[in-house]
Amino acid sequence: MSKHSEACCRIPPVMGEGYEPKGQYIDVGGVKTYVTGPPDADKAILAAYDIFGFFPQILQGADILATGDTEQSYQVFMPDFFNGKPAKMEWYPPRDDEQKAIVGEWFKDAMWSIHKPKIPGILQAAEKMNPNINSWGIVGYCWGGKMASLIAGDEPGLFKVAVQTSPAQIDAEDGARIKIPTMLLASNGESVESVKAYEESLTVPNHVERFDDQVHGFMSARADLKNDKARAEYERGYQLALQFFHQHL
């Protein structure tokens, strides 16, 4: 487990509701992408969202990663992998066989094997937009957490560091393949055993931490930012993520 300076990354106050995103949606390599942060930054972060897409909580998180620390800013790119058709919050948890069938059908187009090959092209297009970029990190939320884990093992040359929050389908075999520094911030929605096995499989610099009083998706779409405790842990999660990026990116 890596050590972090508590003086680092004093992020701005998180808004509980009514957040106005600071970035913009632009085409990056043929993919609608939320882009935030300095357009001339020399370091960038690819953000892989959760199955619910561009929720205010995850856009606020991207803005925090981009400019939450005055000493080091990043340009953040969040592609719309699902092409405007994310999962719907009311589908979860599925209440009956009909809803289970709807979710199963939706996931046929959301397999990581479909979307992972898009990433190199997105990075290349981003670097054409901002030629200053010389290094990349990746942050993944839930569905995107699994994406970050897979690509950190399969495409280690693309990114220098990976951060996962509430990752889906945690698999120690994925962890054993990872070749770049990796952070995993788990919620009470991920089993203690799977997180422990994943941590033990890592052979790279890493920081694994549980937020056992927080729900799955506590740093993305499921974050209840009107709740004081949830908002504080959301902030702490982003502080940890920024510290890890500062250390390794």
| AA letter at 12 | P
Contacts of residue 131, defined as CB under 8 A and 6 or more positions apart, other chains included, come to none
Q: Measured between alpha carbons, how far is 26 from 85 in angstroms, rounded to an integer?
A: 17
C-alpha distances out from residue 181 to 16, 206, 241, Å? 31, 6, 12
pLDDT averaged over the chain?
Answer: 92
Q: How many of the other CB atoms lie within 10 Å of CB of 4?
A: 16
- Digit-coded pLDDT (tens) for 145-200: 999 999 999 876 899 999 999 999 999 999 999 999 999 999 999 999 999 999 99
Q: How many of the other CB atoms lie within 10 Å of CB of 88?
A: 14
pTM for this structure? 0.93
Domain ranges of the chain: 24-248
Q: Measured between alpha carbons, how far is 172 from 151 in angstroms, rounded to an integer?
A: 14
What mean pLDDT do residues 25-48 have? 97
What mean pLDDT do residues 84-105 have? 85
Query: 124 — phi, psi (to 5°)?
Result: -60, -40
With residue 79 as reference, give the H or E element that holds it: strand 75-79
pLDDT at 84 over 70: yes
Residue 146: helix, strand or coil by DSSP? Answer: helix
What is the pLDDT confidence band of residue 3, given thresholds at 50, 70 and 90? Answer: very low
| CATH of the structural domain 24-248, one choice from 2.60.40.10, 1.10.8.60, 3.40.50.1820, 3.40.30.10 | 3.40.50.1820
pLDDT at 246 over 80: yes
What's the confidence (pLDDT) of residue 11?
66
